[in-house]
Structure 1
Amino acid sequence: MNVFIIGLGLIGGSLSLDIQQEFKEATIYGIDTNEEHIEKALELGIIHEQAVISEMKNADIVIISIPVDVSLDIIYQTLNTVSDNCLVIDVGSTKEQICKALENHPKRRNFLATHPIAGTEFSGPNAALKNLFIGKTNIICEVEKTAFKLQEIALDIFSKLGMRIRYMDAKSHDKHIAYVSHLSHISSFMLGKTVIEKEKNERDIFDMAGSGFASTVRLAKSSPAMWTPIFEQNKGNVIETLNEYIQNLQQFKTLIEQNNFSEIYSEMENTNHIKQILNGIQEVSLQ
């Protein structure tokens, strides 16, 4: 099985490691515009050989794991190059724009739009982790537009990697992911920005930062090169979620100004319900 992975960062690299672990016969070819990523991926055993796009005519599977602003052109080149029996998988964080752009491509049946909800704040080949996807949700969009035999191949891979599958239309995916992922990153980046700006005048502020601060700003270490295009492609949904978030922040601020701490208590107590939701998600993931 010839597997080509375009983009040798956290997700692409982790997929490669797990595919090698579960499919011993797989040969992994890596494509990346960053030559240092290629060298590191070879050194770490993430890929077996370096490749170029023109060689993908021999591919059985192509996994595209690059920033969403450049992924569309690469998906087009890939579909134009691969054979009629090749499965092309995109793992980006936005789906509506890509699915719409590809709807009339002659090889649309070869393409599967997916989004594994997994990862860390780190990037590059060094960030790749074995068993990253065990118990993680993988959202598949417009599955009915992919050839059935290629769906079966993909689902076999995802199953062996331990993923849970959810099916969703691309528009709904982008709307929901804006709340549970994109807003979290924006919040983390802006909290980090606020503290950095304050730290200019109060040098000891980081000495007082505890684990709560560290966990809240963890996502602020994520790659701007990856996240800026995500916010651009999902602009409408991101603005909607930001408006709601800002409204809640403003309401909280007003309650403090009004010394209405009983209502603040109620707000926080009601929000504690999130523990039950997250515990339920964790229990399902372990099943």
Structure 2
Amino acid sequence: MFNNVTIVGVGLISGSFALALKDKGYAKKIIGVSRTKASTDKAIELGIIDEALPLEEAVRQSDFIYVAIPVDATIPVMKQIMNLVTDKQIIADAGSTKFVLCNSLADHPMRKRFVATHPMWGTEYSGPEAAVRGAFKDRSCVICEKEKSDEDAVSLVEKIYKSLGMHIAYMDPENHDIHAAYVSHISHITSFALANTVLEKEKEEDAIFELAGGGFESTVRLAKSSPAMWAPIFMQNKENVLDVLNEHISQLRKFKSCLEKENYEYLVELMENANKITRIIK
């Protein structure tokens, strides 16, 4: 049980995490920090946080600080937080990229109180209204550089995530960012690109969305995701995302070539090979 927990960012991930902490009895009081008063007012209204405070004041009052904001803002905010904390406090983040963050904090004297995490869950929605209960159940959470964090800090963060129903995986930051590019980042780029493709066509054919079914909706739903969150992720993980994007473009060209050359057999082969994804997604 923490007396006070601060969540920096009061949106989808942090809001869902705050609700989980309350439901599990981990926090007597949750303090919210956000750039906008509208966000913290809504978070208070929804029962996500109990109070809103400026960052420095919130950190000084808290036992545990959880940071879930766009990754480009995370580094300066994390440095500010780590300049304030003592060895009695614990900090964790929920960022989708890890290498740049971990590298930037490597030499900070309070690095040992920081646990670098990435709960692998999210939706296309954002803001306090997007927070939901039971969000993390049966999902994976990656912890990076476990060896660089104090044992008590890691143990407590692991306990929290496990109690939320998450499976813990351990990776170095470089491998995390490579894997995240394949299983998360490319999905969002593809969805944004497909939405733009259809929107261009829709200029010519107003009726196109009347034909959109469940398959279309499930494929492009990620295109509703926040650009303020995803553009920094793509840029921080640029090299890995470019590698995956090049492979994806190569695969698209194979399908294009099959159609141009009327190569039915290879077209079927490509799709049958794709069916093997059932090993990963049931």
Do they fold alike, i.e. is TM over 0.5? yes
Give the total of aligned pairs. 279
* Matched residue, 1:145: 148
Contact 1:60 1:86 in 2 (8 A): yes
- Structure 1 length normalisation: TM-score? 0.96
Counterpart CA distance in 2 for 1:75 and 1:95 is: 13
* Matched residue, 2:90: 87
SS of the residue corresponding to residue 273 of structure 1 reads helix
Q: Please report how far the alpha carbon of residue 24 of structure 1 lies from its aligned counterpart in structure 2 after TM superposition.
A: 5.5
* Matched residue, 2:277: 274
Amino acid at match of 2:266: E
Counterpart CA distance in 1 for 2:253 and 2:160 is: 46
- Aligned positions of 1:111-190 closer than 5 A: 111-190=114-193
* Matched residue, 1:27: 29
Contact 2:255 2:267 in 1 (8 A): yes
Amino acid at match of 2:158: L
Q: Please report how far the alpha carbon of residue 47 of structure 1 lies from its aligned counterpart in structure 2 after TM superposition.
A: 0.2
Q: Please report how far the alpha carbon of residue 58 of structure 1 lies from its aligned counterpart in structure 2 after TM superposition.
A: 2.4
CA change 1:195–1:28 in 2 (3 A) is same
Counterpart CA distance in 2 for 1:104 and 1:24 is: 30
Q: Please report how far the alpha carbon of residue 26 of structure 1 lies from its aligned counterpart in structure 2 after TM superposition.
A: 2.5
* Matched residue, 1:285: none
1:246 aligns with 2:246: no
Counterpart CA distance in 1 for 2:269 and 2:159 is: 47
- Structure 2 length normalisation: TM-score? 0.97
Q: Please report how far the alpha carbon of residue 85 of structure 1 lies from its aligned counterpart in structure 2 after TM superposition.
A: 1.3
Amino acid at match of 2:99: E
Match of 1:107 among 107, 110, 114: 110
* Matched residue, 1:49: 51
1:5 aligns with 2:7: yes
Contact 2:21 2:27 in 1 (8 A): no
SS of the residue corresponding to residue 207 of structure 1 reads helix
1:36 aligns with 2:38: yes
Q: Please report how far the alpha carbon of residue 77 of structure 1 lies from its aligned counterpart in structure 2 after TM superposition.
A: 0.5
* Matched residue, 2:62: 59
Residues 190-216 of structure 1 deviation map (CA, whole Å, 9 limit, x = unaligned): 000000011001111111111100000
Identity of aligned residues (%): 47
Uncovered stretches (5+) of structure 2, i.e. residues with no partner = none
Counterpart CA distance in 2 for 1:236 and 1:25 is: 39
Match of 2:221 among 214, 218, 221: 218
Q: Please report how far the alpha carbon of residue 276 of structure 1 lies from its aligned counterpart in structure 2 after TM superposition.
A: 2.8
Q: Please report how far the alpha carbon of residue 153 of structure 1 lies from its aligned counterpart in structure 2 after TM superposition.
A: 1.2
Amino acid at match of 2:271: M
Counterpart CA distance in 1 for 2:155 and 2:232 is: 31
CA change 1:61–1:84 in 2 (3 A) is same
Match of 2:195 among 167, 192, 195: 192
Select between 195-204 and 79-88 the one with higher mean Cα deviation. Answer: 79-88
Uncovered stretches (5+) of structure 1, i.e. residues with no partner = 280-287
Counterpart CA distance in 2 for 1:186 and 1:158 is: 28
Counterpart CA distance in 2 for 1:31 and 1:78 is: 12
Q: Please report how far the alpha carbon of residue 25 of structure 1 lies from its aligned counterpart in structure 2 after TM superposition.
A: 4.6
Counterpart CA distance in 2 for 1:25 and 1:38 is: 18
RMSD: 0.8
